[in-house]
Structure 1
Amino acid sequence: MGSETVAAMAAGTWKLGDLEVNRLGFGTMRLTGNGMGGNSDGAPIDREVAVGILRSAVDHGVNHIDTASFYFSPLRSANELINRALAPYPDDLVIVTKVGPGRDPSGEWLGMAEPGQLRGQVEENLRQLGRDHLDVVNLRLNGVKSLAEHFGALAELRQAGLIRHLGLSCVTPAQLAEAQAIAPVVCVQNPYGLDQRIADSNGLMDSCRRQGIAFVPFFAISGQRREAPADDTHDDALLAVARAHGAAPAQIRLAWTLHRGPNVLAIPGTSDPAHLEQNIAAGALRLSTEDMALLEAVSLEAVS
């Protein structure tokens, strides 16, 4: 199945508030380079190739794009690429961005924004994307224990009509509950994958499942390598499942993630057009009970 063209809707759909999306989406971080993804040497890919990847993703049924204004390099901005590739935007396209951490124009991280600075970050996303409102904004926590002031500031912007729905990123179950006391949360975006399962052990995954909140893993393929390219070495059980399905190990990792629950979405990113088709094709893979048991052993070994 590795090189087949399979529409993103094969994985099914879920709603972010009132916005229905296909569960297989696309993350833009790897399009920008310079420490925020891109080629293995950190360089961004050709602009027209990046634009082509975004257009191809949408042509294949992707209608959930993940981005942030802090996804940029000296030569590339993820939001600018999205605007160039996809505007005027299809009616069903949902663009999810995130605010909280900031970077100066040279790319240096500035730490967590103050609550009063979040409006400026929201407006920067609006400007770069060419939108009059943002579909979903995730508050990305960066060392903040209590999120009340930050999330309250975003709730005010939601009331003002600049944001349609709110989500969270890099949070604990307690922080999710704290946010929900302020405003509805439609999604939680945390690191999660076959070898990265803190959200299982701390109850966050279960809490999202019970409440019908979308759980959106990132680093689902690269795991603990994070922004680095996915490792080319894999557990024997993972390789066996991949061979049985005629699939790449990365596709099995994505399929396993999607099998964790109907509310689990996927936003794999890539700077390689061939990998884009592989990732989308993973949404059509159907893992058996036996496959999941084999992979469960892999993931338990990774977290033990």
Structure 2
Amino acid sequence: MVFLLSHLFLLFFSIITVSKTNFKTPSQSDKFVPQAHNIVTVQSKYAMERSLFMKKKFTSLLVFVLLVSMVLPAGTSFAAGKKPKLNMKKLNMTVGNTFSLRVYNAKKKHKITFTSSKPSIATVNTETQNARYASVSALAVGSSVITVTVKKRKKVVRTLKCRVRVSPNAVSIKFMKNQVSVLLSQRTRLETIIKPNTSAERPVFESSDESIAIVNSRGVVMGVSPGTVTITTTLLSRNLTASCIVTVLPDSTTSSTKPKKYYEKKKLQSTAYQSADAL
């Protein structure tokens, strides 16, 4: 209501301004005056009339914009708003796992439904009706498509899809190398072998002493201090583990890559520079 009243007031003010202004488009006779003493007066008159003519155009444009804004409903925006979207478009799961599928940028008036193309492979469940998120459960090996329909009353606003691939659980895991060395403050990745290779299960990694070496979720190890540590990887589905011994070497070992004569030559150059500075 306030929005409509404000636009009506601006429209009324613009109409009054136009009605009180006597606009006159400059003619050719005003531009050329033979009398020399009237040149300044005519030029000033022409400038004033030109200014009023431009004001008329501007006011007409303002009235047109106000009329258009009154026709459009309140809250209408010319800029495109954020569209509803899913937090994942593709999912690689293993049998028995669950994942929370969520819809972002959905409004309160939107009605959201989740459906699975193959419930025997992957099911989708919501805790409450018209929820913004749902739990996807992997039941069997195969592929399924989760379809999310966003409606406003009876009109479909957007249709979203998430492709789910369910793979079998891993039955074995081991490291490609049982012993690895890494320099202090350097990183190296510990490669693992998982069978069957069609499994999408991801193992977890753990360090026996994080003051010596730390490891992230992808198996990348970084040396923190010199020493020896054991990195353990585990498959949670079957509680299968494998171990790798990591030795963190100090920085001094990097100097052994250059020959002894190189350092002797550098020492002589440094001594020569110091002698020259003393002179």
Provide TM-score, normalisation by structure 2. Answer: 0.24
- Structure having the higher Rg: 2
The higher relative CO (CA closer than 8 Å, separation ≥ 6) is in: 1
Provide TM-score, normalisation by structure 1. Answer: 0.22
Pick the structure with more helix per residue.
Answer: 1
Pick the structure with more strand per residue.
Answer: 2
